[in-house]
Amino acid sequence: MTRRAYHVRSPAPTAGLSAGAIALLLTGCASFAPPRTATADPAVVTALNGLVRGPCNQAVASVMAGEGIPISEVRAAIYSEIRGGPSSTVSQYDVWLYPRDQDGAVIVNLDNTCRPMQIYARGGANLQRAERRS
């Protein structure tokens, strides 16, 4: 199953924001670090393929290895395509990994060539728990 997210252009999103508020927003965006990667275990790629079929599963498995996220702790995974430009081609993928023992998700963001760009947690998921295991 593939979920698609579409970019919708909104008029003047920064209208009414002070220069300080804009700088604060940009600083927050810059705080995402690229994810750590390691050699992906073929068994993890196979297990990930069983959860979700997607073009970047090898790269996601590499991020999971680098970040210390075992496949046994992932109960579900979903791809989200971010599309943009006049041809509405895929510009990025978000892969949502849902942990077995936590609320929320860990999101791996990749570019259209499956290069990992960032990883972050939402809705109660905790990346630090994975870091402590590795």
pLDDT tens-place string over residues 62-76? 999 999 999 999 999
- The answer to whether residue 11 sits within a structural domain is no
- The answer to whether residue 8 sits within a structural domain is no
- Residue ranges in the chain modelled with pLDDT below 70: 1-33, 129-134
Tens digit of each residue's pLDDT (9 = 90 or more) over 37-58: 999 999 999 999 999 999 999 9
Neighbour tally for 93: CB within 10 Å: 24
Angle subtended by helix axes 42-51 and 57-67, to nearest 10: 120
- The answer to whether residue 110 sits within a structural domain is yes
- The answer to whether residue 86 sits within a structural domain is yes
Residue type, 87: S
- The answer to whether residue 56 sits within a structural domain is yes
- The answer to whether residue 10 sits within a structural domain is no
In the chain, how many domains are there? 1
Domain that holds residue 75: 16-133
